[in-house]
């Protein structure tokens, strides 16, 4: 347990953890090669379009929804890339944004991600630069975000009902539907144009993307605690999650991947 990375609630990070997280994001955002933020964001939508949403055919499997395992692998690789760039201890895991909490229903996006500057410096958790020269037209600008009314976010009751869904496909579809709504809510619009979280193509550049998906992954993890780690459509198990080289069966257990969402460890 002690060797596992603990992914924490974004509202509960210590000052040191927040500093380490910002340092990792800031450094990664300066790197344009395959270690950097721009590279990983570009794996999701523009320009590489590896992201898996809803059901698709792949190989001999006609109706595969890899939304949850694909994003689990995506977060894992991103987390490792960020931690590689964060020279300060402690090594912090990706924080999750609990959009169903009472706090989120008051303030929306967590404060750590909604302040534009920290100590007089641009906050790398607030926005990032999109550099996508192969897009049509090319994109080179900072991300934009226009969140909606916090009262409209999903409730804890909705989350609890979701966790009680027994069947994996049904759970995936209902969770993905909530996920889709959060993207539209978070991107929002300023009357003229939408924010980047509202479009698949650019969503992953907004730093809140990773914490939104960390919450999605956490909910899958909590569902697995209730319904079984291996509770998944068997035909999905050998499917490969591009471009990570992992199969679905490789990402079922968060502890086997080196992290946990546990909120406390008490040794008696």
Partner 1 sequence: MATKTKARKSAKGPAATARTEDRNYRAAKIYKSARRVALDELPAEYVRADLEFIGVEHAGASYEARVYVNNPTADVNTEPTEGNGYAGSFYVFGHGGCFGDPGHCDVHQTQRDDFDPRRSHPLEPIKKVVVATEAIKAAAMTGSSLNVTVVPVVTSWTEKVDTDDVLKFDHINLVTYF
The contact set with partner 1 (CB under 8 A) reads 45-47, 49, 51-60, 132, 135-136, 139, 146, 148-149, 151-152, 173-174, 177-181, 183-185, 187-191, 193-195, 197-203, 242
CB of 193 to partner 1, least distance (A): 6
59 vs 119, beta carbon nearer partner 1: 59
49 vs 265, beta carbon nearer partner 1: 49
CB of 133 to partner 1, least distance (A): 11
CB of 69 to partner 1, least distance (A): 13
CB of 2 to partner 1, least distance (A): 38
47 vs 87, beta carbon nearer partner 1: 47
132 vs 252, beta carbon nearer partner 1: 132
57 vs 89, beta carbon nearer partner 1: 57
CB of 176 to partner 1, least distance (A): 9
3-state secondary structure string across the chain: CCCCEECCEHHHCCHHHHHHHHHHHHHHCCCCCCCCHHHHHHHHCCCCCCCCCCEEEECCEEEEECHHHHHHHHHHHHHHHHHHCCCCCCCCCCCECCCCCHHHHHHCCCHHHHCCEECCEECCCCCCEEEECCCCCCEEEECCCECCCHHHCCCHHHHHHHHCCCCHHHHHHHHHHHHHHHHHHHHEECCCCECHHHCCCCHHHCCHHHHHHHHHHHHHHHHHHHHCCCCCCHHHCCCEECCCCEEHHHHCCCCCCCEECCCCCCCC
35 vs 247, beta carbon nearer partner 1: 247
CB of 165 to partner 1, least distance (A): 10
């Amino acid at each position: 347990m002690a060797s596992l990375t603990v992914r924490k609630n974004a509202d509960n990070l210590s000052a040191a953890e927040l500093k380490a997280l910002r340092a990792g994001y800031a450094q990664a955002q300066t790197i344009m090669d395959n270690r950097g933020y721009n590279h990983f964001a570009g794996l999701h939508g523009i320009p590489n379009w590896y992201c898996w949403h809803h059901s698709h055919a792949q190989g001999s499997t006609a109706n595969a929804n890899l939304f949850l395992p694909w994003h689990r692998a995506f977060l894992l690789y991103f987390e490792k890339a960020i931690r590689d760039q964060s020279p300060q201890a402690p090594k912090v895991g990706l924080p999750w944004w609990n959009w169903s909490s009472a706090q989120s229903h008051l303030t929306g996006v967590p404060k750590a991600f909604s302040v534009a500057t920290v100590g007089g410096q641009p906050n790398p958790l607030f926005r990032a630069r999109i550099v996508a020269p192969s897009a049509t037209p090319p994109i080179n600008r900072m991300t934009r975000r226009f969140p909606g009314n916090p009262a409209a976010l999903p409730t804890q009751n909705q989350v609890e009902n979701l966790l009680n869904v027994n069947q994996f496909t049904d759970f995936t579809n209902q969770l993905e539907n909530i996920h889709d709504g959060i993207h539209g809510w978070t991107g929002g619009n300023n009357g003229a144009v939408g924010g980047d979280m509202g479009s698949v193509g650019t969503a992953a550049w907004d730093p809140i993307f990773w914490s939104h998906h960390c919450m999605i992954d956490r909910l899958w993890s909590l569902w697995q605690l209730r319904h079984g780690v291996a509770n998944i459509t068997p035909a999905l198990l050998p499917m490969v999650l591009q471009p990570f080289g992992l199969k679905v069966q490789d990402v079922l257990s968060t502890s086997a991947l080196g992290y946990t969402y546990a909120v406390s460890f008490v040794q008696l």
